[in-house]
Structure 1
Amino acid sequence: MKKSKFTGYLLAITVLVVSMLFMGASCSATTAKVSNAVMTTGIDDSYAPIDNVTEFPVNSDVYVAAELKNAPNDTNITFIWYCEGQKVDSITITNGDVSDAPLAGYLPAALVTQPGNYSVEIYIDERDTPDTVNEFVVK
């Protein structure tokens, strides 16, 4: 009797897991990561940073350059920009079918209107914690 009860539970769990997968629930974690992020005043044609800075003038474009590694197709990469802890802007891009690639994001000068402490967080897919956080100052 115990064996048939165990088999019933096992069958129910299997059906539940398969149903969740068919409904689109994700049970896997991506191996993608973001590394070597730097703040820069610009990027070149290959998306490499032209310099590595921590201070920017008010009303200037602010760039972050990084590297994406081990990303499955259609991985979402989200950049969230903050000024004094308040969200200023965010954008999500996808890698398409490129597994390893340079990344770049920027905060337009129109959003860099006041001096203070700023930061950018870069997230992979729906992760709760950012892969990287870069802080910088606007003067």
Structure 2
Amino acid sequence: MKLNTFKLGLKKYLEFVPFYLFGSGLAFTVDISIFTLLRTNLGTNYSALIAYIFGTITSFSTLLFITKYRLNKKRVGLLIHLLIGLGTLLINLIILNSIDYIAKLYNYFLYTQILNNSNYYALSTKVISSGIGFIWTSSMTGKFLFKKK
């Protein structure tokens, strides 16, 4: 019984992912652009928070147009989307700060003099953290908010 439930859930998730990829692709572009531009001036945490806000709004708006909405009220859906996004933000912050911590331990001079001031470093760390956070976000968004048309 549980195996069938798991298979059905996995099937629904895999059917939803192509629709989600478009919305999340736009949101990812907004998120990563803002984070990359702001990180050297504002640091990891503030940049990630600001990028999260703009990315979440982009994702929600795009998914409203390309998928079928599950809820009756868009405000409730936006709130749920923001809560899902907070989970993603938490995942991103843990990964981003862990990468920074490891880089500092490995070579403190390299981190402080080069990596901490590099947009390429910000871009690469954000790609890694967003890739991991994608699994959480796509599964929760498909489960609670949107489904394929």
Q: TM-score, normalised by structure 2?
A: 0.32
Question: Which protein has the larger Cα radius of gyration, Structure 1 or Structure 2?
Answer: 1
Q: TM-score, normalised by structure 1?
A: 0.33
Name the structure, 1 or 2, with higher relative contact order (CA <8 Å, separation 6+).
Answer: 2
Higher helix share: 2
